[in-house]
Copies of this chain bind each other. A is one copy, B any other.
Amino acid sequence: MIPDAFALPPGQIYLLGHSLGPAPKAALDAVTRAAAVEWAQGLAASWNDAGWFAAPGRLGDKVARLLGAPAAAAIVADSVTVNVFKLACAALALAPGRRTILLEAETFPTDGYVIEALARLRGDEGLRVERRPHTELFEDIGSDVALIVTAQVDFRTGAAFDLAACTAAAARAGARVLWDLSHSLGALAIDATAIELAVGCGYKYLNGGPGAPGWAFVAPHLAEALETPLPGWFGHAAPFAFEPAYRPAAGAQRFAAGTPPILSFAALEAALDVALRVAPRDAEAHVRALQAAFLDALGDALPCVTPAACGAHLAFTHPEALALKTALIGAGVVGDFRPPDTIRFGFSPLFLTERDVIDAARIVRETLAQDDWRGAAHAGVVT
């Protein structure tokens, strides 16, 4: 779509945008400017002059636009882990008589750790966490269920929930859903009216840089009723009045907490501006076109385990998936490995062309047809 907006190293087809998106050229410029000009020359005056102070809300508004939501419905702050904690804790207080949190059994582990910890922290209330398989998560939701926490897209298989149908099923049972959209926003078109609570990262399909700050969305009709368990000065109605008592800011801003890491914010903001150049429905349509072209060109070379209702990555299994991933990197196709036997290819919309993915599929086929691909050394464990 707009590959010229990205600084892509030559000689590789990067099918890893679902892990760490590549660098938008504007993000590189923005980071250098934030450091060398705003910080080094502007110093503390840049909190006003360079708009640092307003960054959590300003970036949040851009996330909201990508979600198709009104301004002030989202905030950029902290990490996904911390934002899951904040929103889950706030949501539980809205359903004081209910004691169960449903969690997808295979959800991204850090989300599960935080939810289990939250239940322990509030152990006196008898909160309990019930883990369910993906296919049963939204079935038979009992009257004790306060909250359902899950990623929309399974980080391993790529299977995706239908946001509107699942949120509605939960609502019929009187429960709310906290969606982790880390594998969604930037690749899939989201209908903001179909979600009430959501979090996501900035570093996958949003291309905001390594460990880019996370975001949190709360539906406008809920925001004023929500209380953050981590009230920091950036979520205060008047941060620089230094009031001893906390008063929440309006809307999602209340979920900002401490001082934001501005250099990482600068990269993410530029990346959000790049993402906003493409309508989300066009981005998703391109994802589907890339996936179809890849699968068509791949043929039966590798078995795909991703169902039709899916996010932007496809998962394949191979008994020697790790060695295969390594061999493919050597051949210029970058995917990743998830234990025990999964290889993932991400079809990030903004910088990949159909030509790229057809070439990639050809290289996968050619590699598998060689005798010696298993001999390639393993380059690392983290990708």
State the A residues within 8 Å of B (CB): 7, 9, 14, 16, 19-20, 22-23, 27-28, 31-32, 34-36, 38-41, 43-49, 52-53, 78-82, 85, 89, 105-106, 109-110, 112-114, 116-118, 121-122, 124-125, 131, 201, 203, 209-214, 228-233, 236, 240-246, 257-267, 334, 336, 338-339, 379-383
Contacts and interface: CB of A to CB of B under 8 A. Distances in A.
Contact of A383 (B44, B241, B334): B44
B213 A261 contact: yes
20 contacts: A19-B44, A20-B43, A22-B43, A28-B35, A32-B32, A48-B381, A78-B78, A81-B233, A81-B258, A82-B82, A82-B257, A105-B244, A109-B242, A109-B243, A113-B232, A116-B246, A209-B262, A211-B263, A241-B339, A261-B261
Given A233-B81, A233-B113, A258-B78, A382 B240 contact: yes
Contact of A263 (B79, B263, B382): B263
Given A31-B32, A121-B121, A122-B121, A201 B244 contact: no
Nearest to A262: B210
B81 A209 contact: no
B382 A232 contact: no
Contacts of A382: 44, 47-48, 53, 240
Chain B CB within 10 Å, residue with most, of A9, A41, A79: A79
Contacts of A233: 81, 109-110, 113
A258 B110 contact: yes
A172 to B, nearest CB: 28
Contacts of A338: 242
Contacts of A85: 229-230
B242 A44 contact: no
Contacts of A81: 230, 232-233, 257-259
A233 B116 CA distance: 13
A232 B267 contact: no
Contact of A232 (B36, B79, B243): B79
A105 B243 CA distance: 11
